[in-house]
Amino acid sequence: MTQVMAHRGSSGTRPENTLPAFSEAVRAEADGIELDVHLTKDQVLVVMHDEEVDRTTNGQGRIREMTLAEIKTLNAGSWFDKEFSAARVPTLKEVLDLLVQKNFRGFLNIEIKTDKFDYPGIEEAVSSLMMSQQWPFTHWYSSFNMKSLEKMHHLEPDTQLDYIMGTAESKVKQALERSFIEGIHPKINWIRESEASFLSFPKAVRPWTINESDDMLACFEQNLTGIITDFPEKAVRLRRGMKK
């Protein structure tokens, strides 16, 4: 069965990468949750998509140039809807604690957001937090940056690693050449334009971002490993409907 992965939580219906977005993904019975991590100036792992706080908070500046205390003063929900004005930028630890509290038993896909900045030490910080206790869910890592995935492989040789890409065949080839890469996250166009060659692809394929019903159904019918969607509730419902 194709996994439904909630992209930045249920980011189509809640402010992305916030506790409400992750709670909603659990409520919607997503099989997995994807989130993005960065390191603050004082070396704390925080969950946000962009390198700057500008788009998804009422603040300005780069995460790597701000302390956690500075980031915690920001409103991370009102840009989406004033109903979410209490939402703050969560630390990775706060998200993990929420998922434990919500009895989440699915997959947590932690994306190491090192495509623009290296964030020295981020791989060690993530691994050290994830290995610090036994979590009741399975975690894995993804990144656009192969160097980060190589570091994660060194730190956690048994943890699943997925390579994120656009549609470039050179990236697909890089993934194929590395046995420690379990799967790829290609942009949806790769699926739409590949004339079904992905059906015989020897690794897991989890495209992003699958938000339209037609695309969801096509991925389910082709039995792809997973889809990464902003609308996990809609995807889970559609998948349920197909089984009837």
The verdict on 51 binding Mg ion (CB under 5 A) reads no
**How far is residue 131's CA from residue 126's CA, in Å, rounded to a whole number?**
9
Does residue 94 contact residue 87 with C-beta atoms inside 8 Å?
A: no
Report the residue from 53, 228, 235, 236 that binds ligand G3P according to the rule CB under 6 A.
Answer: 228
CB of residue 164 vs ligand G3P: minimum separation in angstroms?
A: 5
**How far is residue 57's CA from residue 48's CA, in Å, rounded to a whole number?**
10
The verdict on 139 binding ligand G3P (CB under 6 A) reads no
Residue 217, SS3 per DSSP: helix
- Which residues 149-168 are close enough to bind ligand G3P by CB under 6 A? 164
The verdict on 111 binding ligand G3P (CB under 6 A) reads yes
Does residue 47 contact residue 36 with C-beta atoms inside 8 Å?
A: yes
Show the binding pattern over residues 74-113: x = contacts Mg ion (CB under 5 A), - = does not: -------------------------------------x--
Amino acid at 157: P
Report the residue from 14, 151, 153, 185 that binds ligand G3P according to the rule CB under 6 A.
Answer: 185
Closer Cβ to ligand G3P, 8 or 153, answer by number: 8
Show the binding pattern over residues 10-49: x = contacts Mg ion (CB under 5 A), - = does not: --------------------------x-------------
How many residues of this chain bind ligand G3P (CB under 6 A)?
Answer: 10
**How far is residue 207's CA from residue 21's CA, in Å, rounded to a whole number?**
20
From start to end of the chain, where are the E strands?
Answer: 3-7, 32-39, 45-47, 107-112, 138-143, 161-164, 183-185, 204-205, 226-229
CB of residue 218 vs ligand G3P: minimum separation in angstroms?
A: 18
Q: What's the gap between Cα 185 and its chain centre? A: 10
142 binds, among Mg ion, ligand G3P, none (CB under 5 to 8 A by kind): ligand G3P
CB of residue 161 vs Mg ion: minimum separation in angstroms?
A: 14
Does residue 40 contact residue 64 with C-beta atoms inside 8 Å?
A: yes
Closest C-alpha among 193, 174, 18 to residue 88: 18
> Would the CA dihedral through 193, 199, 202, 208 be positive or negative?
positive
Does residue 14 contact residue 233 with C-beta atoms inside 8 Å?
A: no
The verdict on 142 binding ligand G3P (CB under 6 A) reads yes
The verdict on 230 binding Mg ion (CB under 5 A) reads no
Closer Cβ to ligand G3P, 57 or 209, answer by number: 209
Establish whether 7 is a catalytic residue.
yes
| Interface residue list for ligand G3P (CB under 6 A) | 7, 34, 36, 49, 111, 142, 164, 185, 208, 228
Residues designated as active site: 7, 49
